Structure 1
Amino acid sequence: MVTNALNESDFTESGDPFRLFGAWLADAEAAEPNDPNATALATVDPHGMPNVRMVLLKGFDEHGFVFYTNYESAKGREILSSMKAAMCFHWKSLRRQVRVRGPVEEVSREEADAYYASRPRGSRIGAWASKQSRPLESRFALEKAVAEYTAKFAVGAIPRPDYWSGFRIVPEIIEFWHDRPFRLHDRVVFKRSGKGWEKMRLYP
């Protein structure tokens, strides 16, 4: 049942922010009309300029939060440059938000291969056809590339491109926010401490 507050038991009884995140994501999957796993991903380019865009969370566990992308895209290059990133989940219908910050690691080849193989065939073709974030002369050029790779991989498995894989944000900080009347919101932050987590409330 979705409550209207972030109860004391949500953080005094739980030393595991991933368990709380899992419960909130399950609520979002039941309530949000589109992409409950959508999250704003923030990175910084080599010049120190911040950048943000929406991506889809494709998995999480006690090790971190996983998403996939073209490593030659803007976000791919920016992450590989700094190996740091942040995420913000906002579930408007539930009036909830979760922020995640931390270093980034690459997923294993086995993880990337398994997820890539699970994607629709058209999405796997698209990973080959799209030179993500780079100039596109026309929509026809993209459609032509899709047709060429569709013909190339007409039969059999479609291999994962070497430049397409996943990243895992290993959080050092996870903050949970829940709307309350008169802007007296609930904010609870988990900060990594050794092998565990320190928990505290924050003023709204």
Structure 2
Amino acid sequence: MRFCAILILSVISILNNLELKSQTVVKTLSNGCKLERSLFLNEKKIGVYNKRGRLVKLSADEIKCQKIFLYQSYSLIDYGIILKYPEVIYKDACIIADILSSYDPSEILSFTKPIGERKKISIQDINKYYTYLDASVDYVVSINIIVKDSLITQYSYTYKPNMSDVIISYTCVFTYDKNNRIVKLEKIYSRHYETKEIIYENK
């Protein structure tokens, strides 16, 4: 009996250690300033740290939205794209995943052409509205995605923000680490230049 109890405790301890090892603290910096610090478990966000360093877990509604978002983001593999930790680029991942999932993978091939070791997916005349969590609205006109070794290296799209008639061009360049995680984004839009750095720390 005592042996069984010790065995059960050992198994629980091993499982707890495995969970801790799969937990990652992700820090996002915008132009060098801290933007957000979050806790991820198996590449899925489980909460955000507040200013006092306390972890605020996702609400039930946020978890529902997260499930839909992650399902769509991970379905990018059907289009030859791998995207780890998609929540660190939430808005960009929403646009890319939603637009591509509007087409059958075989249709996307007709929009794709090779460029050396890379491939370029170019879709014009999208003409679709996107509403984000902050209530902002973009009317997307076209998109271009460059992929190398199943990773998005750059993508750009043209859009009209918040129901205006002004067309804006947005470009984002991604840098990855050896684990194929995005560690840097360089964004250019409306004469603005922004960099985001993403730091992954095992807890």
Output the TM-score relative to the length of structure 2: 0.27
Structure with the bigger percentage of strand: 2
Output the TM-score relative to the length of structure 1: 0.27
Higher RCO (C-alpha 8 Å, min separation 6): 1
